[in-house]
Chains A and B, each alone.
Chain A
Amino acid sequence: MAQVHSTHGHEDNGHASSEILGGHQSYTTVTDTIADVVLKRPLGKAWLFGFAISFALLMMFLFAVTNLLVRGIGIWGVNIPVGWGFDIVNFVWWIGIGHAGTLISAILLLLKQDWRTSINRFAEAMTLFAVACAGLYPLMHMGRPWLFYWLMPLPNTMALWPQFRSPLEFDVFAVSTYATVSLLFWYVGLIPDLATLRDRATNPLIKKLYAIPALGWRGSAIHWHRYRTAYLLLAGIATPLVVSVHTIVALDFTIGIIPGWHTTVFPPYFVAGAIFSGFAMVATLAIPLRSYFGLKDYITDKHLDNMAKVMLVTGLIVTYGYMIEGFMAWYGANTYERYQMLVDRPTGAYKHDWWLLILCNCVMTQLLWFKSIRNNIILLWLISLVINVGMWLERYVIVVISLHSDFLPSSWGMYHGTVWDYMTFYGTIGLFMTLMFLFVRILPAISIAEMRELVHELHERDEARTQATPPAARTV
């Protein structure tokens, strides 16, 4: 029977331990700690409190959207010349956040980075939820959202197709593909764990609820074989998407002729920026999560340290991007670009946003050079928050400042988000957090199956080491 394999298959043999797996872990401890978070642990006050707040925000979001649909896009701050505001800023911000998940899961998997195992699961979940939030904005920002299906290549009585030259049309495909693949990847990874939960669950109803998505997983060799093939294939498919999605989002701007948009450096540094913000968000979530659910042994300081390093590198790439923008504006001697990059951004009406962006993304990240700071959990958490803010500001600068002063001074104008813009923005954060809270209660936040493997592998290594060392040293 299935459950035999998955639970009592191995009795407690040996104690694996390493810097990516704290404490003395065995299959049982792994399974217990992670599965119990879902099955046994009662609803904590903190969880209820957090969920309540997130859900309230979600309700506010629904209110804001309803008003938007009834009264029109005019309730937002957008205008002529600034035709895009919070809507596109938030879209790009969320998409960016959505990048870490796939990156961690897919690319690190292919690179056999075993430290990924403990964070990939909720990183993927984060990706899905972030993409869900992002996907809402392009719909909401349309003047006539009920006609969104005109962007799909569907047969119709108008004998018309979408225009495939438009970067917005690229988006439709890029984002939907990314969402689909991420979902599959996440789900396939979940199947063995769903089986575990199915077997450990005591309440028959819950048993069934887990059994259906578990698709009758019994952990037979052939199951494992197919599982691995599928997982690797999906990883292979997902990897290029990490690059493609944000490249295409970058094209939304670079294809425009607006000074501040029309530049070739965007795609690479958008991707870097995406990973930058993605990892920042993973850290922002991982740190509280592991302490609250007592998963410190699984999400170790080593993990956080690695993430901090990734943030530092991508942060530097982003900074380089900013410098190149400025340099090319000066070197290109295009009066409009020069004004935009060298005059308006640092000294213009929005100079505060710009300088704050530099502070958040370029200056603060430099702290990550120091190991002491990387290992100071509180500081790291704060820095990751700062980076989230900084990356939001980056998109605000690109979208709003570029548009508010383009070619003809006569049509320069100002943009300010209205209360509805903010409600929508915080609303999507509410949506994201709500999904996150539900996720950690309903599904294992860390891949049980992969953790077991990890334990096994580490055990093997221990074995190897112990054979090498003289018996006297064996003080276990």
Chain B
Amino acid sequence: MSNRTRSDFGSQDLSELRRKLAGSSGPQYWRSLEELAGTEEFERYLHREFPEQAAEWHDPVGRRQFLQLMGASLALAGVSGCVVRPEDKIVPYVKAPEHVVPGKPLYYASAAVQEGYGSGILVESHLGRPTKVEGNPSHPASLGATDLFTQASILNLYDPDRSQSVTLNGHLTSWDALLNALIDLRTVQLAKKGAGVRFLTGTVTSPTVARLMDQVLGPKFFPQARWHQYEPVGHANRRAGIRLATGTDAEAVHHIDKADVVVSLDADFLSWGPSKLRDARNLAIRREPGPENKNPIRLYVVEPTPSITGATADHRWPLSSEEIQAVAATLARAVGVSDLPSAATELKAPWLATLVADLQKSKGKSLVLAGETQPPAIHALVHAINQALGNVGQTLTYHEPVAALAPEGQSGSISELADDIRAGRVEALFILGNNPVYDAPSELGFAATGAESSSLLLKVPTVVHLGLFNDETAQVSTWHIPEAHFLESWGDVRAFDGSATIIQPLIAPLYGGRTASEVLSTLIDGTPLPSRSLVEDTWRGNRSDSDFTAFWTKSLHDGVIADSAAKPKSVSLKPLADISWPKAGTGKYELLFRPDPTIWDGSHSNNGWLQELPKPMTRVVWDNPALISKKTADQEGLKDGDILKLTLNGRILKVPVWVNPGHAEDAITLTLGFGRSEDAGYRGRVGAGVGFDTYSLRTQNGFWSTRGVLVEKTGENYPLYSTQGHNTMVGRDLIRTGTHADYAHDPTIGPTPYGVVMHHEAAGDHGAANGHGHAEETGITPHGADPAKGLIGFEYPEPYRRRNDGELGNRWGMSINLNACIGCAACVVACQAENNIPVVGKDQVGRGREMHWLRIDRYYATESRDAEPSANPATHFQPIPCMHCETAPCEMVCPVEATSHSAEGLNEMTYNRCVGTRYCSNNCPYKVRRFNFFQYSDQLTESLKLQRNPDVSVRTRGVMEKCTYCVQRLTKARIEAQIKSPDGNDAVPGDAVATACQQACPTRAIVFGNMNDRSSAVAKAKEDPRNYSLLAELNTRPRTTYLAKLTNPNTAIEA
């Protein structure tokens, strides 16, 4: 049956396309052909006609690129003829809308939703076309920052592969047809009190959806129905843990800012969780030296898979998740949690005692965190530990639950749903936003694999699926409804602390998408109410109309609903003795499942920006290799790219390996979200065929980790591409690190001058790590503290300080605080979104042609200069934008002056003057320049054009490009300054303008502004003794400088 629906789809498409192809020409023709590309006929034709393109055809991006090339050659044919400028139209409004001024963007407050939780955003809109997402400073979960997913969400909005119409068994049909069906279904089920009705959703914090679910499940409608919640990557264990510890439902909120010592038991809180942005910000504040931060925070992390949290830690130990459970037990006993279950084993390690001592020392100022990947029991234990340490009420507070819950007896897990379906108890299943066929535990049989000949969902008479994509689940659902993206629909959502935000649409649904609340309201009222009125009803309460209008406007404007945060809740911990302790598995290797750092659970697999974004730790793109430690690799005789055959209770997965320094030994990490195929009914042209479907090995019991996997080397090999070729600094003075102790001794964390060994050399591996031990190799020793000093220390006259007429103009500069940077890569995506940076595809990245203007270098600090990164190396991140050198090597070698220096000190790249000799890139010591080797930016897909930033040129084939310090923003600020100021002065207040990367950064590691304004943050940062410029000895005089990284190691521990 599943096959039937699929084949229908095929024929459907084909007839569609033939229709489109008929009577289209020029670009239109190619656009149609691009759609045609999926079909077998074309594949065959292609293999016949262009053998060598056929290879690149299988790489989905390669395919798109090929079409671009054809398009480009068409374009070329166009320009070759001598033509007068193209004739354009001006189309004014009939009636000008309020506030809209052509050429001036507007910003609207809304919220981005992840795993059900909200984070405040401000969306930039050009003439009604959202182009960029920024954080909302007044929102508690954002504080003005965004993560990489929120930045990339704008691309999801315009994704041409989003589901575009209601379908019935794969045939195009209409929303009205669906409504009729729903109303019939409603009457039938009302009679049975909804006994056959089931709902499947993810975490729901939306008050509106919660209200509607309550009604639907309420006595008036479907009291017999059940609401199942499932998320492949969510917060189930965390909540279960709280319930286990307290006996009630509550939301636990941790406050990093109040903690002096934080112990993370595999809690990757910097990249996972509804409060990650806030946590990152607080951590950065507490790591920064200064009078207001007398004793800086110390972070201990134990984790199997290297994460950015582990990289940021002052001490990190790679342990298997079972060992981590033992650590939890040991900690618990040590801090006086007496009633441990007998099954709990302990871990004996010298460092553990020191760690405990550190915790004891800072009672009430410490915090122990357990990761979602740990079972509920551990979470419960951790609550007890924090209780014992007196952290509750200080660094850890409990609140009323934020996520909506089904009424007693009506809630259920996904496995219970599967059982009900098997038992034939389910007549109508509403899947609101989930994709169980792809991401449900494999043994449940939602996917037609292994035991199941066809999907479990085909046993349900009526399946109504609401989703952004026409995905695997949609293929086997009776009805599929295109879901509205959060940027094009009305709604509301709560943040980690319960603060609610109204989600407002920035644009009318591009593909006629609907929201969950509309579907639910149909079941309630028999006719769908518009989302807006549904949301309004939720919040109207007993307000009078005038009050409500005021409230509504204010809430929309602020992006946060005043005092909507969840009330504190007093909880009492229950005894732990009888909790079920996780059973230790058997088998040499522990198999771990983790969300992919950039694709997450697969919800972003069709997002080119995220596919091409290097994973923070491995720098791998476009793939999800199995991560293993160096030791394991040696034991199994594996190297990067060797294909491994994993067998877990009958299911087989072949996946290439990547050796990941710092990975726990005898453990294998699989990241989720890849391996989606057109056979399985996935329709994304970007995500299809990329990576390996690790969900196929994932089961209920082995949800995050399991043992008993059989490992077998196949001898086959698979190309994996990482954007960083070399992982160590080969003794060069690139990243400067020291300890807070060093800082107290001498705040200039410089490199070692000739021969002399510097004091912090002794402090663990840092010294040798970043090459201080080899300064005699470095030869020339730059004066780190002052970039205005030359290599032998004498002053250069600083150019571009003032305008020729003597006025104090703008002098742009950037400072990047390596102490704050956590390597989360939000800045990289923000830059891509702001500057129309194209996606080039796996093959091109493999050839060293990625286009990111801002990259994050990740270096391992090895014991000796050239040694292989060790079992547990220190990891350092270094964001590298253009340095905007005052004496830029790139400028003088350009034969056509396409790159030149502005009087404000910018190193400018003029794309339309570039002829593409690439000498500037060769001569750039920082290698920040990027070249359009092909026509990379997609000029054919209409919907993607809508996303482009109109203030930035879209580059064509054959021109160089690079970071501009977001010159479009600078120019805007300067012009506005001149128009505002009475004397038309162009000097911009120091901190008035932010670059895209700076704006996105959760830790405010990037500071940018006008250095001529001595009060500006950047001017201050440049005076910080830790300030140094990269490769200063070349006398490039970078405008981008760095602040040395400081760690706070526990001297009692020999790391």
Q: Give the Cβ gap from B751 to chain A, nearest Cβ, in Å.
A: 11
B958 near A144 with CB under 8 A, answer yes
Question: Which of A70, A162, A255, A408 is most buried by chain B, counting CB atoms within 10 A of its CB?
Answer: A408
Q: Give the Cβ gap from A331 to chain B, nearest Cβ, in Å.
A: 11
B895 near A172 with CB under 8 A, answer yes
Residues of chain A at interface, number, CB under 8 A: 55
Given the known inter-chain contacts A74-B844, A408-B734, please indicate yes or no for A167 contacting B893, CB distance below 8 A: yes
- Chain B residues with Cβ below 8 Å from A84 are 918-919, 922
Which of A83, A138, A144, A336 interacts with B921 by CB under 8 Å?
A: A83
Q: Give the Cβ gap from B908 to chain A, nearest Cβ, in Å.
A: 14
Partner-binding segment picked from A98-106, A281-289, A410-418: A410-418
B927 near A408 with CB under 8 A, answer yes
Using CB atoms, name the residue of chain B closest to A255. Answer: B893
Given the known inter-chain contacts A72-B933, A335-B731, A335-B778, please indicate yes or no for A79 contacting B847, CB distance below 8 A: yes
- Chain B residues with Cβ below 8 Å from A143 are 914-918, 931-933, 957-960
- Chain A residues with Cβ below 8 Å from B779 are 332-335
> What's the Cα separation between A147 and B76 when bound, in Å?
13
Using CB atoms, name the residue of chain B closest to A171. Answer: B895
- Chain B residues with Cβ below 8 Å from A59 are none
Using CB atoms, name the residue of chain B closest to A333. Answer: B779
Q: Give the Cβ gap from B1039 to chain A, nearest Cβ, in Å.
A: 17
A406 at the interface (CB under 8 A from B): yes
- Chain A residues with Cβ below 8 Å from B678 are none
Q: Give the Cβ gap from B1034 to chain A, nearest Cβ, in Å.
A: 6
Given the known inter-chain contacts A72-B957, A143-B957, A409-B732, please indicate yes or no for A81 contacting B927, CB distance below 8 A: yes
A50 at the interface (CB under 8 A from B): no
Using CB atoms, name the residue of chain A closest to B80. Answer: A146
Given the known inter-chain contacts A74-B844, A334-B779, A413-B725, please indicate yes or no for A407 contacting B925, CB distance below 8 A: yes
A74 near B896 with CB under 8 A, answer no
A292 at the interface (CB under 8 A from B): no
> What's the Cα separation between A83 and B72 when bound, in Å?
22
Q: Give the Cβ gap from B825 to chain A, nearest Cβ, in Å.
A: 15
Q: Is the interface of A mostly helix, strand, loop or mixed?
A: loop
Q: Give the Cβ gap from B961 to chain A, nearest Cβ, in Å.
A: 11
> What's the Cα separation between A336 and B730 when bound, in Å?
10
- Size class of the B contact interface (CB-based, 8 Å): 35 or more
B697-726 Cβ-contact flags toward A at 8 Å (1 or 0):
000000000000000000000000000111
Using CB atoms, name the residue of chain A closest to B866. Answer: A343
Q: Give the Cβ gap from A411 to chain B, nearest Cβ, in Å.
A: 4
> What's the Cα separation between A258 and B933 when bound, in Å?
22
B870-882 Cβ-contact flags toward A at 8 Å (1 or 0):
0000000010100
> What's the Cα separation between A166 and B1034 when bound, in Å?
19
Tell me which residues from 505 to 541 in chain B have a Cβ below 8 Å from any Cβ of chain A: none
B725 near A257 with CB under 8 A, answer no
A193-224 Cβ-contact flags toward B at 8 Å (1 or 0):
00000000000000000000000000000000
B958 near A73 with CB under 8 A, answer yes
Using CB atoms, name the residue of chain A closest to B929. Answer: A80
B398 at the interface (CB under 8 A from A): no
B73 at the interface (CB under 8 A from A): yes
Which of A73, A77, A80, A148 interacts with B927 by CB under 8 Å?
A: A80
- Chain A residues with Cβ below 8 Å from B935 are 72
A152-168 Cβ-contact flags toward B at 8 Å (1 or 0):
00000000111101111
- Chain A residues with Cβ below 8 Å from B915 are 142-145, 147-148, 150-151
Question: Which of A84, A148, A413 is most buried by chain B, counting CB atoms within 10 A of its CB?
Answer: A413
A162 near B897 with CB under 8 A, answer yes
A83 near B859 with CB under 8 A, answer no
B2 at the interface (CB under 8 A from A): no
- Chain B residues with Cβ below 8 Å from A79 are 847-849, 933
A125-148 Cβ-contact flags toward B at 8 Å (1 or 0):
000000000000010011111011
A410 near B72 with CB under 8 A, answer no
B892 near A165 with CB under 8 A, answer yes
- Chain B residues with Cβ below 8 Å from A72 are 69, 72, 932-935, 957-958
> What's the Cα separation between A255 and B893 when bound, in Å?
8
- Chain B residues with Cβ below 8 Å from A80 are 848-849, 921, 927, 929-931
B726-737 Cβ-contact flags toward A at 8 Å (1 or 0):
111111101000
A/B interface sample: 28 pairs, CB < 8 A: A69-B76, A71-B72, A71-B934, A77-B847, A78-B933, A83-B921, A83-B922, A84-B918, A141-B918, A143-B932, A143-B960, A144-B959, A151-B896, A162-B895, A166-B894, A168-B919, A169-B895, A256-B919, A256-B923, A335-B777, A403-B922, A408-B925, A408-B926, A408-B927, A408-B1030, A409-B728, A410-B859, A414-B725
A residues apposed to B, CB below 8 Å: 69-74, 77-84, 138, 141-145, 147-148, 150-151, 160-163, 165-169, 172, 255-258, 332-336, 338-339, 403, 406-414
B residues apposed to A, CB below 8 Å: 69, 72-73, 76, 724-732, 734, 777-780, 844, 847-849, 855, 857-859, 878, 880, 889, 892-897, 913-919, 921-923, 925-927, 929-935, 957-960, 1030-1031, 1034
Question: Can you name 9 extra interface pairs (CB under 8 A) apart from A84-B922, A409-B729, A409-B730?
Answer: A74-B847, A79-B847, A80-B931, A143-B960, A144-B914, A256-B893, A410-B725, A410-B858, A411-B857
Q: Which 9 A-B pairs have the closest CB atoms?
A: A143-B916, A143-B958, A74-B933, A79-B848, A83-B918, A411-B927, A410-B857, A409-B726, A333-B779
